[in-house]
Each structure stands twice: as C-alpha cells, then as structure tokens.
Amino acid sequence: MSILIENIKKLVQVEDQPRKFVAGKAMSKLPVMEDAWIMIEKDRIASFGKMDDQLRPAIAKKVIDATGKMVFPAFCDSHTHLVYPASREIEYVDKIKGLSYEEIAKRGGGILNSARKMQEISESELFDSAMKHLDEMMYLGTGAVEIKSGYGLNTESEMKMLRVIRRLKESHPITIKSTFLGAHAVPTEYKGKQSDYVDLVINEMIPRVASEELADYVDVFCDRGFFTVEDTDRILNAAMKYGLRPKIHANELDYSGGIQVGVKYNALSVDHLEYTGDAEIKVLLNTETMPTVLPGAAFFLGMVYAPVRKMIDAGLPVALASDFNPGSSPSGNMQLILSMASILYKMIPEEAINATTLNSAYAMGVEEEQGTIAVGKKANLFISKEIPSIEFMPYAYGSNKVETIIINGIIK
C-alpha cells in the first residue's frame, strides 16, 4: 500500500547522505524540511520533498493531511530488559525508604528476585506480557527495540528468555535485536564461586546461544559488586569467537573499567556511564563504540548523572535508551527519555532527538534501516499531534505527543 502524508509542518531528521551517527557539535544539528510531504511505498520511504515541489506525487492509496503536525522517525530504543516475569514495586518502596540498589541486590532482591520468578513462569506468559510492553512502546513512538536476556542465570532459563525474544521478533511489527546477558548477576548457588559461573557462561551458555543463533549481541554487567574487568574480558573473548559483538553495562556504580574493556573488544555500545571521567572519554574518542546513557535508570535510582555535556563537548557521540526493566527503569517511554535528556543532562532538543533516533539506531545496529527520514529506509515513523515547535517534544514532558504511528509502512 502507498501512503502520502501532506502539509507536514516539519519533517524532522531528514537525510540525503547516510550517516552512521553524529558526534560532538554535529549532534546539535537536526536537519528539518518545512511544509513537506512524504511518500511511503510498501514498507519503505519512497520519496519526500517540499509541498511546492513539482515532483510531488498526486496519487496514493491513502492520503493523510498533516496540517499543523510534524513527522519524526520512530525512536530506536537500544537497551531494554522488557522480557521479565513480574514487576518489582515492593523493592521500589524499599528504595523510597532509603535502601540502595546494591543493598537490595545483596539481600537477594533485584536481579536475583527476577531470576527466581523466571524459573517458574512459562514461555507463553512471558511472551504475552512482553507483547503488551512492545505495543505500549510502539504507540508512544518507538520503532526498534533491543531486548536482553539476563533474568535466567542458568542455561535453561537464559535459553527460555532468548526463545521468547525470538518469538517476539517473529510476531511483533517493531524491529527487535536480542542480546545474551548471562553475566547479569551471580546466581545464589554460585555465591563465592563467581569464576565458576563465568566458566558456565563461557563453556555452556555462549556455545548454545550461538549454535541456536539466539542472540545478535552479548552483554556483561561489568561493575562494582557484579562482574569484574577480568570476568568481562574472558566472556567477551569467548563471545568474539562466535561472532557476538558486545554491548555492555559499564560504569553505572563506579569507575569500573567497563568502558575500557568494552572498547578493547570493539563493543557496539557501552551503556549507563554515570562514572565517566577524562580517561574514559579519551578511550572512547574515535572508536566505533557508542556511549549510551540511560536517563530512566539514573532518575529512578537517584544516581549521579552521566557527564553528558562534557562527553559531547569533548567530541563524543551519545545515544539514549530507556533501559526498560522492572528494577531500575520501569518505563519504555522514549518521549519521557527525551525530556529527561534535556532536563537532567542539559542536552538541547536537537541533541536529544539525534540521541534517540540516529545514534540509538547505530547502538543497536539498525542505522542503515532506521533512525532518520531517508529514501529507502524502513517506513517507521510517527505523525505528531498538532504541536507548536520541535522543542515542545521534550518540553511537554507528561503528555503523549504522538498521534499516528506507522511501522513497516503500515498505520498502527
């Protein structure tokens, strides 16, 4: 089917020459076409231009009048844990009462709490709840999502989670990438024997995940109280032999060395980054690793905020993702992430939009297909409600500004 959207007040993030990502000062530039149209053929962006353009197509199966509205590429959410067995609002209350994320984890709460429940839940229950999360995110403007395992923490349960993610890929219109996160926490039965668990991840889990082609990427929670740089090095080395590129949790709780070991293995992204200093910035510059900040987790846990201004001013690219998970960020709303980016990290709206579209597309390996409005890319985009300006998107932080979402060229 063909769809022609006309009288678009602003067509945002248009691109003629494909870029992999934008870094430093270039993050503050957001290419916009005013008074525009866009033509969608089947699942692709076929053409776009200005309303007074002679080449404007006259016919289409469906014509949408977008007077007063804007069109944006759908958000790419490059870091989530949205396959989980149950919400964890009781821990949230513990946090309100003053316990830290690490204290909750030490008492067997946190990731281990989810891992216990993961053993009992069926694949179909997991699948049904994840489908609901994906639907909600899609209607809030998201067109691509990365999903991690990591609540299984034994071979069978990790495989179960990854099989659910595979079914989601086959069933949901949103583009999905899957990441194997066996090293998310040390399971209770391996307490005091952390390196034995790392051996299990390396010798049993990774070979099975790879042989059943269940993951696109590999992740490790490389941080204080979780996995060490040495553990991470061993796991990434093993994963590399199976062609699994890393996307790792790094420097959320301390200057953990996670960024350095991620860059050493040419990670596609290093994520969280609350503890990023001059040494970490230097290591990241001129690499293919996307620094990814997760405002939802920092906000929800009341952490220090990653030094995003300093990172961008030093010339780095930055991507933003929701980190949707039951423990540290129970929201997959990328519109809210846009607002947090400007309010908490002082990113200007243009930077925040680049970070949630093109740069986050790169951080999950879909930048050739999504993240901008470009001819030939997948038609994953949304039409906003009538809004006065682009700046209104992060400004109106509690409102849903998305009116119509189009995924794979189909109106949802």
Please identify, among the stretches 273-281, 316-324, 342-350, 392-400, the one whose residues bind Fe ion according to the rule CB under 5 A. Answer: 316-324
End-to-end distance of the chain based on CA atoms, in angstroms?
A: 14
Diameter of the chain measured on Cα atoms = 71
Q: Please tell me the distance from the alpha carbon of residue 257 to that of residue 237, in angstroms, as a whole number.
A: 16
Q: How far is CA 30 from CA 23, 72, 327, in A?
A: 12, 11, 34
| x-marked contacts with ligand NIG along 23-42 as a string, rule CB under 6 A | --------------------
Binding residue (CB under 6 A) for ligand NIG from 327, 349, 371, 409: 327
* Pairing relationship of beta strands 245-250 and 269-272 according to DSSP bridges: parallel
Q: Please tell me the distance from the alpha carbon of residue 365 to that of residue 383, in angstroms, as a whole number.
A: 24
Say which entry of ligand NIG, Fe ion, none residue 274 contacts (CB below 5 to 8 A, set by partner kind): none
Please identify, among the stretches 206-214, 320-328, 332-340, 373-381, the one whose residues bind ligand NIG according to the rule CB under 6 A. Answer: 320-328
Say which entry of ligand NIG, Fe ion, none residue 221 contacts (CB below 5 to 8 A, set by partner kind): ligand NIG
Please identify, among the stretches 19-27, 56-64, 319-327, 333-341, the one whose residues bind ligand NIG according to the rule CB under 6 A. Answer: 319-327
Amino acid identity, residue 388?
A: P
Nearest distance, CB of residue 376 and ligand NIG, angstroms? 34
- For Fe ion, the closer CB: 77 or 350: 77
Please identify, among the stretches 37-45, 136-144, 322-330, 397-405, the one whose residues bind Fe ion according to the rule CB under 5 A. Answer: 322-330
Question: Which of 386, 364, 387, 351 is CA-nearest to residue 144?
Answer: 364
Binding residue (CB under 6 A) for ligand NIG from 73, 85, 110, 332: 110
- Whether 242 contacts 263, CB under 8 Å: no
- Whether 406 contacts 412, CB under 8 Å: yes
Say which entry of Fe ion, ligand NIG, none residue 295 contacts (CB below 5 to 8 A, set by partner kind): none
Does 323 engage in binding with Fe ion (CB under 5 A)? Answer: yes
- For Fe ion, the closer CB: 6 or 323: 323
Nearest distance, CB of residue 323 and ligand NIG, angstroms? 5
Does 81 engage in binding with ligand NIG (CB under 6 A)? Answer: yes
Nearest distance, CB of residue 142 and Fe ion, angstroms? 16
Binding residue (CB under 6 A) for ligand NIG from 297, 306, 337, 373: 297
Does 257 engage in binding with ligand NIG (CB under 6 A)? Answer: no
Residue nearest to Fe ion (CB): 323
- Whether 229 contacts 248, CB under 8 Å: no
Does 367 engage in binding with Fe ion (CB under 5 A)? Answer: no
* Pairing relationship of beta strands 175-183 and 62-65 according to DSSP bridges: unpaired
Nearest distance, CB of residue 181 and Fe ion, angstroms? 8
Half-sphere exposure of 149 (CA within 13 A, CB side): 30
Does 258 engage in binding with ligand NIG (CB under 6 A)? Answer: no
Please give the DSSP secondary-structure letter assigned to residue 181.
E
Does 109 engage in binding with ligand NIG (CB under 6 A)? Answer: no
Bridge partners for 292 per DSSP: 271, 319
Q: Please tell me the distance from the alpha carbon of residue 26 to that of residue 312, in angstroms, as a whole number.
A: 9
- For ligand NIG, the closer CB: 325 or 380: 325
- Whether 53 contacts 349, CB under 8 Å: no
DSSP string, 2-71: EEEEEEEEEEESB-SS--S---GGGGG---EEEEEEEEEETTEEEEEEETT-TT-----SEEEE-TTEEE
Please identify, among the stretches 35-43, 187-195, 317-325, 340-348, the one whose residues bind Fe ion according to the rule CB under 5 A. Answer: 317-325
Site for ligand NIG in 201-230 (CB under 6 A): 221
Give the interface with Fe ion as residue ranges (CB under 5 A): 323
Give the interface with ligand NIG as residue ranges (CB under 6 A): 81, 110-111, 114, 221, 249, 252, 297, 323, 325-328
